[in-house]
Amino acid sequence: MAKLKIKKGDQVIVTTGRDKGKKGEVLRTLPSEARVVVSGVNIVKRHQKPDRMNSGGIVQKEAPIHVSNVAIVDPKSGAASRIGFKKLENGEKVRIAKKSGEVLA
């Protein structure tokens, strides 16, 4: 199980596949499968049986996408960037966007 550099809440851009170029926020990470769920990306239709909570029908939801097919959005330029790590003066380790050197939230 590899540790993912992309975290929940990050803004990412899809680099390959059917949704190439789409941007969205990471809703969930699945580290054991090396996949992430991104809002508005990889939308699939599922047939839902009715139950007590909701009525049945065809529902649309986001399916997981492999982490290698997404890249972090650079906060300065808005382009795709790789992720690096840097230690600050106070000893704190932070993630940075390699393209601009900006610290990621």
Q: What is the pLDDT of residues 80-89, one digit of tens each?
A: 999 999 999 9
- Supply the pLDDT for residue 49: 95
Please, how many CA atoms are within 13 Å of residue 82, restricted to the half-sphere of its CB? 3
CB-CB contact of 45 with 63 (8 Å): no
Going by pLDDT thresholds of 50, 70 and 90, the confidence category of residue 2 is: confident
CATH code at position 69: 2.30.30.30
How many domains are contained in the chain? 1
- Supply the pLDDT for residue 105: 77
In a domain, 72, yes or no: yes
- Closest of 31, 59, 23 to residue 43, by C-alpha: 59
In a domain, 64, yes or no: yes
In a domain, 5, yes or no: no
Say what the alpha-carbon torsion angle 26, 95, 66, 20 is, to the nearest 10 degrees.
70
- What is the average per-residue pLDDT within 93-104? 94
CB-CB contact of 61 with 43 (8 Å): yes
In a domain, 67, yes or no: yes
In a domain, 105, yes or no: no
CB atoms < 10 A from the CB of 92, how many?
8
18: containing domain: 11-97
Write the DSSP symbol of residue 63. P
pLDDT digits (tens, 9 = 90+) for 18-64: 999 999 999 999 999 999 999 999 999 999 999 999 899 999 999 99
In a domain, 102, yes or no: no
In a domain, 6, yes or no: no
In a domain, 54, yes or no: yes
CB-CB contact of 70 with 61 (8 Å): no
